[in-house]
């Protein structure tokens, strides 16, 4: 039994109100919502994939491409933006060579832009797993990525 089939056994077939919990469970298990997963969920719930994508894209929490082994969350809330998150994001884009929400070719990294993480006084803020980096500047990015590569290679 595939992981997705296993998740679906916890829910009632045809129950549209189970969509969001199912999507959350699949993403928690797989890291993202693959096309195959969406098709299987649609079949199980009796919903079109178009409707599922339409609802899922309404929520920021869902990803449709796999994340890198190290996934960074960059605060682009108002205070961090005023404190330079734009330059930080540009540096990250240049260093990693990818846009937000896309994994790097080697699968090591991905990053997403998020709203306020509650650390405005210490912004710009970057989060990787349980680690928070504060007062991050664009010039810190190459060194940060170099150190995180070591962690990515251990995963
Ligand atoms: S705006 Fe970035 S932590 Fe609040």
Q: Is 111 helix (H, G, I), strand (E, B) or coil?
A: strand
For residues 74 and 150, state if they share a domain.
yes
Residue 74 lies in a domain: yes
Give the Å distance between the CA of 54 and the centre of ligand 1: 28
Residue 78 lies in a domain: yes
State mean pLDDT over 4-31.
94
For residues 88 and 51, state if they share a domain.
no
Average per-residue pLDDT for the chain:
93
Residue 74 near ligand 1, beta carbon < 6 Å? no
Whether 64 contacts 54, CB under 8 Å: no
In the chain, the number of structural domains is: 2
Give the Å distance between the CA of 42 and the centre of ligand 1: 37
For residues 87 and 149, state if they share a domain.
yes
For residues 42 and 118, give the distance between their C-alpha atoms in angstroms, rounded to a whole number: 36
Residue 136 near ligand 1, beta carbon < 6 Å? no
The model's pTM = 0.77
For residues 40 and 110, state if they share a domain.
no
For residues 90 and 125, state if they share a domain.
yes
Confidence grade of residue 2 (pLDDT, cut at 50, 70, 90)? confident
* Residue range of the domain that includes 41: 3-56
Residue 79 near ligand 1, beta carbon < 6 Å? yes
**Strand pairing of 126-128 and 70-75?**
antiparallel
For residues 52 and 84, state if they share a domain.
no
Give Cα 106 to chain centroid, integer Å.
17
22: nearest Cα among 46, 35, 41, 40: 41
Residue to probe by mutation, ligand 1, list 72, 114, 119, 133, most atoms within 8 Å of CB? 119
Q: Is the pLDDT of residue 153 over 80?
A: yes
């Amino acid at each position: 039994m595939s992981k997705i089939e296993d998740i679906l056994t916890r829910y009632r077939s045809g129950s549209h109100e189970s969509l969001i919990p199912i999507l959350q469970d699949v993403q928690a298990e797989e890291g993202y919502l693959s096309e195959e997963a969406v098709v299987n969920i649609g079949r199980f719930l009796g919903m079109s994939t178009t409707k599922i994508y339409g609802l899922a894209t309404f929520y920021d929490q869902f990803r449709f491409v796999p994340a890198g082994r190290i996934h960074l969350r960059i605060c682009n809330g108002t205070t961090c933006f005023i404190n330079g998150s734009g330059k930080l994001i540009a540096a990250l884009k240049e260093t990693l060579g990818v846009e937000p929400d896309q994994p790097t070719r080697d699968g090591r990294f991905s990053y997403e832009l998020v709203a306020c993480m509650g650390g405005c006084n210490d912004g710009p803020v970057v989060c990787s797993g349980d680690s928070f980096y504060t007062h991050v500047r664009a010039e810190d990015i190459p060194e940060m990525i170099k150190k995180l590569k070591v962690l990515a290679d251990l995963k």
